[in-house]
Structure 1
Amino acid sequence: MKLLAIHHVAIICSDYQRAKHFYTQILKLPIIHEQYRAERDSYKLDLALPDGSQIELFSFVGAPKRPSYPEAQGLRHLAFAVADISHAKAYLEEHAVAVEEIRVDEITGKRFTFFADPDDLPLELYEA
């Protein structure tokens, strides 16, 4: 077996409309497909990233909150590569998204920072 790439990351949100706005209007991810699944009272929104990978955004009634502070085992965060981290940070802050100070990865020397989606899912920007 040879893994080629990450195809998608699935995220469960608490407020579908708020999360949809964040990912499509603020992060500007294009919609591939949106579907309401009546039997589950759930939305599924497929979003495209420029490298061909996708984010699947789900809503499920009564889904429990994600434990993260202190950090729980499991997926730690989702990182997005950006060309200019200072510009990306300023853009997010202009859209009322709190962004941590930019840090430097001790191993690679690359700059990075963290912010959160509307459900406090940790997201990272990593300068390519």
Structure 2
Amino acid sequence: MYNVAHIGIVVKDMDKSLEFYTTVLGCALEESYQDERVHLAFIKAGQQTIELIQYQEDSVKVRGAGIVDHIAFAVTDIAAEMDKLRQHNVTLLFDQPKVVSGKKILFFAGPDDERLEFVQSL
């Protein structure tokens, strides 16, 4: 079995996305790279790495991006995290956390409408 190295998410505005992931979600920027076709930012979310990818306009036409359904973040207090999301005017995909298989879950939208999730074990 392989360990996940990172999850790649295509974003429209790197600055806006970095601000969201670092300020709202508390991720830390590890490294970034930019050339004439792409801007990459690797951010740390706990033990996982997320790669934010902003393609230059011409590169998008050459290579279409795949779809990532969602990224889930483990939290210890989903109610407090939900309050933080509301303070930052983040779109919640449902009003209250749901309980599923002994966990509370809450889906919300990132700056490019990517689906993100908080998971709290009960």
TM-score, with length taken from structure 2: 0.83
Q: Aligned residue for 2:46?
A: 50
**Letter matched to residue 49 of structure 1:** A
**Letter matched to residue 61 of structure 1:** Q
Q: Is the aligned partner of 1:21 residue 2:19? A: yes
8 Å contact kept, 1:81–1:127: yes
**How far is the alpha carbon of 1:84 from its aligned partner?**
0.9
Identity of aligned residues (%): 28
Between structures 1 and 2, the one with greater strand share: 2
Unaligned residue ranges in structure 2 (runs of 5+): none
- Aligned mates of 1:11, 1:81 — CA distance in 2: 19
Q: Aligned residue for 2:29?
A: 31
**How far is the alpha carbon of 1:98 from its aligned partner?**
2.0
**Letter matched to residue 39 of structure 2:** Y
What is the SS of the residue equivalent to 2:42?
A: strand
CA distance change for structure 1 residues 104 and 7 in 2, over 3 Å: closer, same or farther? Answer: same
CA distance change for structure 1 residues 75 and 59 in 2, over 3 Å: closer, same or farther? Answer: closer
- Aligned mates of 2:114, 2:18 — CA distance in 1: 14
TM-score, with length taken from structure 1: 0.80
Equivalent residue runs for 1:1-128 within 5 Å:
2-3=1-2, 5-38=3-36, 40=37, 42-51=38-47, 53-62=48-57, 63=60, 75-99=68-92, 100=94, 101-105=96-100, 108-128=101-121
Q: How many equivalent pairs are there?
A: 114
4+ aligned runs moved over 3 Å, structure 1: none
Unaligned residue ranges in structure 1 (runs of 5+): 67-72
**How far is the alpha carbon of 1:119 from its aligned partner?**
0.7
RMSD: 2.0
- Aligned mates of 1:124, 1:50 — CA distance in 2: 14
- Aligned mates of 2:83, 2:109 — CA distance in 1: 15
- Aligned mates of 1:60, 1:74 — CA distance in 2: 15
What is the SS of the residue equivalent to 1:83?
A: coil
